[in-house]
Amino acid sequence: MNDAEHTKPLAEDARQINNPGSGQADAPAAPVEATAPLESPFITSKEIARQHGEMLRRQFGERLSRIEALRVATEFKTALVPKRKGGRPPSDRITRAFEDWKAGMRGVTLFAKHIPGWHKHNRYRRMGEQKALTDAIRNRWRRESAKER
């Protein structure tokens, strides 16, 4: 089945609930029941959102500018979609190196274990990779210490 088959009866229900030509104030939107028993929550939710959008457009149509309508849509999205955890996810490689560092591993053994191809690198590349790994471990330690305080 396609979306058109599912949405048509719901749209007709919405017109009966909120009839703008009746001269009466719009009734509050009643919950819309699914017409088909196998209708997915996505399709039902999408139709309800569309109906409420149409209702807002009928009530405030000319009084809302495009920017204000976009702000209303953003508010709706904010209420509907939960925020996700911010920030960059921690690197698994740095996490493993940090755990080894906390266990007491230092120096060449730490670098050789956690820097791929470390033994093949020349002196200057090793120094750069070592500094990057050491800085990442230090930053991880600083952030964990700040969380504990």
Largest CA distance in the chain: 84
Q: pLDDT band at 39, cuts 50/70/90?
A: confident
Amino acid at 37: P
Q: What global pTM score does this model have?
A: 0.49
Per-residue pLDDT at 28: 54
Q: pLDDT, tens digit, for every residue of 108-129? A: 999 999 999 999 999 999 999 9
Supply the mean pLDDT for the chain. Answer: 81
Q: Check residue 13 and give its pLDDT.
A: 45
pLDDT in tens, 55-68: 998 998 888 899 99
Phi-psi region of 105 (alpha: psi -120 to 50; beta: other; left: phi over 0): beta
Can you tell me the distance from the alpha carbon of 43 to that of 93, in angstroms, rounded to the nearest whole number?
Answer: 42
